[in-house]
Amino acid sequence: MSEREQYGFDHYDALIFDMDGTLVDSMPLHLDAWELTCAEFGIPFEREQLYQYGGIPTRKIIAMLAEQQGLTVDVEAFTRRKIALYMAHIDKVSVFPKMWELVRHYHGKVKMGIGTGSPRNQADSILKSTGLDAYISVVVSADDVTNHKPHPDTFLQVAELLGANPANSLVFEDTRIGLEAGKAAGMDTVLVIEGDLHQR
């Protein structure tokens, strides 16, 4: 089987990737930071629930959790602590091998960009430390949009920066919220589970 047949994405204007949990294996580190921060702030922690919030910025997630559980939380202090715990281990983040193959295969053939719910500094640090910055230069972070996933804004902005038609763009995502954002943008979507491509 040829590489072309293996992927079959050549006809798209753009391939747009979520970052955490899709391109890079960072979710365990995120969840570890969440668990430690929740323990420090006395907030109930459910790993599976928090994974499903992937793509939403930390301050929005903790505000939602506090409201749901009727808790009073200093959202900014929580966010700072969680980010600090995560950033202390960011050098451990690696690219999923099969996603590396895909990115390298389409480099210079199809436009590629990243739409992430992470802040700009985290995204830039990960792209630089993993070497992805040599392959993907267009990145839209949580700092670049007001309406985050599941709203389509993140992915639409990536397409705009790439000069791509949203209707002929493909989004790679690992969470339901991210897939909803891609579909809301009028794009095709692919579910990625631990670096493996699943249903389209």
Same-domain status, 144 and 61? no
Same-domain status, 111 and 19? yes
Residue 75: Cβ within 10 Å count: 15
Same-domain status, 103 and 146? yes
- State residue 49's pLDDT score: 83
Distance CA 195, CA 6 (A): 15
Please count the structural domains in the chain: 2
- 72: domain CATH number? 1.10.150.240
Q: End of a domain among 69, 90, 111? A: 90
Same-domain status, 134 and 124? yes
CA 58 to chain centroid: 13
* Residue ranges for the chain with pLDDT beneath 70: 1-5, 199-200
Same-domain status, 190 and 180? yes
- State residue 2's pLDDT score: 43
User: Residue 167 belongs to what domain range?
Assistant: 3-25+93-197
Same-domain status, 125 and 184? yes
pLDDT tens digits, one per residue of 150-166: 999 999 999 999 999 99
- Please say whether the beta carbons of 39 and 194 come within 8 A: no
- Please say whether the beta carbons of 141 and 118 come within 8 A: yes
- State residue 8's pLDDT score: 92
- State residue 5's pLDDT score: 52
- State residue 200's pLDDT score: 64
- 136: domain CATH number? 3.40.50.1000
Distance CA 11, CA 13 (A): 7
Same-domain status, 74 and 138? no
CA atoms within 13 A on the CB side of 113: 24
Same-domain status, 179 and 104? yes
Question: 56 - beta bridge partners?
Answer: none
Whether the pTM exceeds 0.95: the reply is: no
**Could you list the active site residues?**
18
Q: End of a domain among 71, 90, 109? A: 90
Q: End of a domain among 70, 90, 110? A: 90
Q: Give the torsion through C-alpha atoms of 174, 175, 180, 186, to 10 deg.
A: -10
Q: Tell me if residue 169 falls in helix, strand or coil.
A: strand
Same-domain status, 111 and 193? yes
Distance CA 148, CA 96 (A): 24
Same-domain status, 118 and 173? yes
Within the chain, strands assigned E span 14-17, 111-115, 138-140, 169-173, 188-193, 196-197
